Amino acid sequence: MADVAAKERKILVAVDEGEESGNALSWCLKNVISENSKDTLVLLYVKPPRAVYTALDGTGYLFSSDILAAMDKYGNDVADCVIEKAKKICKDLQDVKVETRIEHGDPRDVICQMTEKLGADVLVMGSHGYGPIKRAFLGSVSNHCAQNVKCPILIVKKPKSTAGNN
Amino acid sequence: MADVAAKERKILVAVDEGEESGNALSWCLKNVISENSKDTLVLLYVKPPRAVYTALDGTGYLFSSDILAAMDKYGNDVADCVIEKAKKICKDLQDVKVETRIEHGDPRDVICQMTEKLGADVLVMGSHGYGPIKRAFLGSVSNHCAQNVKCPILIVKKPKSTAGNN
């Protein structure tokens, strides 16, 4: 216990556009990060591959390059928005260094790879990344990470007040 | 952050005879519990149903009552030993109340039920409860809990130095 304040931990928080990842980050700030820690908080957003968006069409038709460009722009806007929202949640942190990273690929694999690449001491994430529609394509990101990351993983569910069919 | 010290959290740690649950408990003490917290730490051991032991025989023969009694005694001894070992890990805690509970049943269900019954703020457990043989019968306890508990769940893997085919 005495060394909590002294040691420097790297805490990787996987954020996305869902409400749960915001809750996960808030919970982490309140419960894992101690006041005088020298922790580094890395906010990671993984832009899913374009196939996830195009597959949403479901018709099998190819999109024109205009539409694909618009989709890419939309993807970038979402990424910026998610990271900004996450940074806002962290705005009161004083001693903790906050870094942000935007990566691209299958979130399940990229998140697991990033824990190793960054040497994360713990991975924090919401239970349902990427909302119900994208989850149907991507599978449960948190389930995959729970089984594959080497470091401790903290999965934060919906808060009790809003928990429905979780 | 400022309210970390003031609030009282109930932290449920599922312990078992495996090395990982000891690691999970140690990691929790170092990383989740802050120095002046008024947390309550509940150490929970769930004795698996006798079927798990009898199934190990694999012959299909019924055991005599003597053997069953010896098995029950063995189960109780294991429970006491696990709880003692966990309490020893917690011996340096000063402000944190430590409670112990031994329950009986399928660990997957009982652990999930206990988080709700006790109103746990977080569930902490190792990644591989119950070792390779019993896991074959019980399935992965942590996977099940990750998908079914309502509260945040922290799953701690083997430490890097000893991690093999995790």
Structure confidence by residue, pLDDT tens digits, A82-118: 999 999 999 888 778 999 999 999 999 999 999 999 9
Average pLDDT over chain B, rounded to whole? 81
Calculate the CA A50 to chain-centre distance.
Answer: 18
* Least confident interval from A43-57, B67-81, B93-107: A43-57
Name the pLDDT band for B4 (thresholds 50, 70, 90).
very low
Residue A28 has pLDDT above 60, yes or no: yes
Q: Is A41 on the interface with B (CB under 8 A)?
A: no
pLDDT of residue B19: 84
CB-based contact B154 A151, cutoff 8 Å: no
CA–CA dist B156, B15 (Å, integer): 12
The phi, psi pair for B14, rounded to 5°, reads -85, 115
What is the nearest CA distance from B108 to chain A, expressed in angstroms? Answer: 16
Compute the mean pLDDT over every residue in chain A, rounded to the nearest whole number: 81
- Kindly tell me if the per-residue pLDDT of A3 is higher than 80: no
Residue A152, phi then psi, degrees to nearest 5: -60, 145
- Measured in whole angstroms, the distance separating CA B71 from the mean position of its chain's CA atoms is 20
Token output for A26: 């808030």
How many beta-carbon contacts under 8 Å exist across A and B? Answer: 92
B17 — contact with chain A (CB < 8 Å)? no
Q: What is the ipTM of this complex?
A: 0.80
Count of C-beta atoms within a 10 Å radius of residue A90:
18
Q: How far, in Å, CA of B166 to CA of B158, rounded?
A: 8
Strand partners, A44: A14, A101
- What are the strands of the beta sheet with B122-126, ordered from one edge? A97-104, A40-47, A10-14, A122-126, A153-156, B153-156, B122-126, B10-14, B40-47, B97-104
- Residue A147's pLDDT is what? 85
Domains, chain B, with CATH or none: 10-162 (3.40.50.620)
Flag if B154 and A157 touch (Cβ within 8 Å).
Answer: no
The pLDDT tens digits of the residues spanning B55-97 come to 555 555 666 778 878 888 888 899 999 999 999 999 888 778 9
Query: Residue B35 is encoded by which pair of tokens?
Result: 């120095």
Name chain A contacts of B31, Cβ cutoff 8 Å.
4, 9, 32, 121-122, 152
